[in-house]
Amino acid sequence: MTVVKPGTRPERPYYSSGPCAKPPGWAPEKLAVDSLGRSHRSKLGKARLAYAIDLMRELLRLPDTHRIGIVPGSDTGAFEMAMWTMLGARPVTCLAWESFGEGWVTDAVKQLKLDPNLLRADYGKLPDLGAVDWSNDVLFAWNGTTSGVRVPDGDWIAADREGLSFADATSAVFAYDLPWDRIDVATFSWQKVLGGEGGHGVLILGPRAVERLENHTPAWPLPKVFRLMAKGALAEGVFKGETINTPSMLAVEDAIFALEWAKGLGGAEALIARSDANAAALDRIVEARNWLGHLAADPASRSKTSVCLTVEGADEAMIKKMASLLESEGAAYDIAGYRDAPPGLRIWCGATVDSADIEALGPWLDWAYSQATQ
């Protein structure tokens, strides 16, 4: 059946799962630029970095027990920094159910030679979270961006754990209410739910992670950009805006714009509500079409940010065709699933996307599907 091309387009056809859509109303000329062209260690530079940290703390509802700092290398840099500085003290368990979790397995096995216990699941599923041994350090992605499967909550993380919990939370922060008492290490990048820029990572450390840093010397060398200890003590400056090396103040100002936008909306609850509404709008589109489905079968562990969809009869070529038709129409950018995932669509539902633009996508998906199956 041929479907007629819809007459109207989404206002902002940005559905990429990273870098994600800019906050509504964002424009480059709205960024504060006084800190640009200045030393990041000037009074102004340090104040802007500290302000970004304060805003993140407030919006994440991060307790005083946890430190938060800006580090190099986007989410990958922050998570690698945590792995390289803290692992090796006790056995390690890696949970992997999609590409990014697998990436941490590769590093633990091939680079750090740790021989971790592995708990894996196929795309669309979660491993048995009840099987985790919490005498181990445990690595996982809170929201698996490439399969659209997330952990449902933090209840499976033992309150009396001996090991540390390491959450790659880049597609999860600002979209779910995170139980900080169960998280020893969390990392993310501004490029996801905030619609900020990549380049910098954010590292969150609970008190037990700090204790580990202070009492454990890794068996391997650490490059300068990973070093969180100075003269035998934690480099506290990192958590006040004294970055290890030079940050992009433009990326910092861009993040401040997004954080102020989020605060103006009402903070964490408002961001979570926007994500929930977007995911619900997309779910209605899926429910109304027998050729669309969710890769994550269980709604309790289905992502509300990186929603991954199955398309009946799809192979890579068909998905490519649908995505490029929609891109050339200016109707939807970047909705093909991740390259390592089963062929399908992936539609970002984080807070910077407007629900009206998710709703407007339905008829365009019908059109692209009809074009691709003709």
Question: Interface with ligand PLP by CB under 6 A: which residues?
Answer: 18, 74-76, 100, 141, 145, 168, 170-171, 189, 191, 198
Least separation in angstroms between CB 169 and ligand PLP = 8
The torsion region of residue 339 among left (phi > 0), alpha (psi -120 to 50) and beta comes to alpha
Q: Identify which of residues 14 and 100 has a Cβ nearer to ligand PLP in the complex.
A: 100
Q: Identify which of residues 93 and 191 has a Cβ nearer to ligand PLP in the complex.
A: 191
Least separation in angstroms between CB 179 and ligand PLP = 18
Helix%, strand%, coil% for the chain, nearest 5? 35, 15, 45
Least separation in angstroms between CB 103 and ligand PLP = 7
Q: Identify which of residues 16 and 35 has a Cβ nearer to ligand PLP in the complex.
A: 16
Q: How many CB atoms lie within 10 A of CB 39?
A: 12
Least separation in angstroms between CB 187 and ligand PLP = 8
Q: How many CB atoms lie within 10 A of CB 362?
A: 18
Residue 327 has φ and ψ, to the nearest 5°, of -65, -45
Residue 303 burial (C-beta neighbours within 10 Å; 0-12, 13-18, 19+): buried
Q: Identify which of residues 67 and 192 has a Cβ nearer to ligand PLP in the complex.
A: 192
Least separation in angstroms between CB 294 and ligand PLP = 18
Q: Identify which of residues 35 and 305 has a Cβ nearer to ligand PLP in the complex.
A: 305
67 Cβ contact partners less than 8 Å away, ≥ 6 residues apart: 204, 205, 210, 239
Cα separation of 251 and 256, whole Å?
A: 9
Residue 175 has φ and ψ, to the nearest 5°, of -125, -25
Q: Identify which of residues 189 and 278 has a Cβ nearer to ligand PLP in the complex.
A: 189
Q: Identify which of residues 164 and 325 has a Cβ nearer to ligand PLP in the complex.
A: 164
Q: Does residue 341 contact residue 316 with C-beta atoms inside 8 Å?
A: no
Least separation in angstroms between CB 75 and ligand PLP = 4
CA atoms within 13 A on the CB side of 27: 3
Q: Identify which of residues 312 and 340 has a Cβ nearer to ligand PLP in the complex.
A: 340
Q: Helix (H, G, I), strand (E, B), or coil: what is residue 306?
A: strand
Least separation in angstroms between CB 215 and ligand PLP = 28
Least separation in angstroms between CB 231 and ligand PLP = 29
Q: How many CB atoms lie within 10 A of CB 333?
A: 15
Least separation in angstroms between CB 289 and ligand PLP = 26
Least separation in angstroms between CB 189 and ligand PLP = 4
The torsion region of residue 18 among left (phi > 0), alpha (psi -120 to 50) and beta comes to left
Tokens 């007459």 belong to 7
User: Of 173, 169, 207, whose CA–CA distance to 193 is shortest?
Assistant: 173
Q: Identify which of residues 106 and 217 has a Cβ nearer to ligand PLP in the complex.
A: 106
Q: Identify which of residues 116 and 201 has a Cβ nearer to ligand PLP in the complex.
A: 201
Kindly list the distances between the CA atom of residue 89 and the CA atoms of 79, 137, 139, 198, 271, in Å, as whole numbers in the listed order.
17, 9, 14, 31, 37
Q: Helix (H, G, I), strand (E, B), or coil: what is residue 52?
A: helix
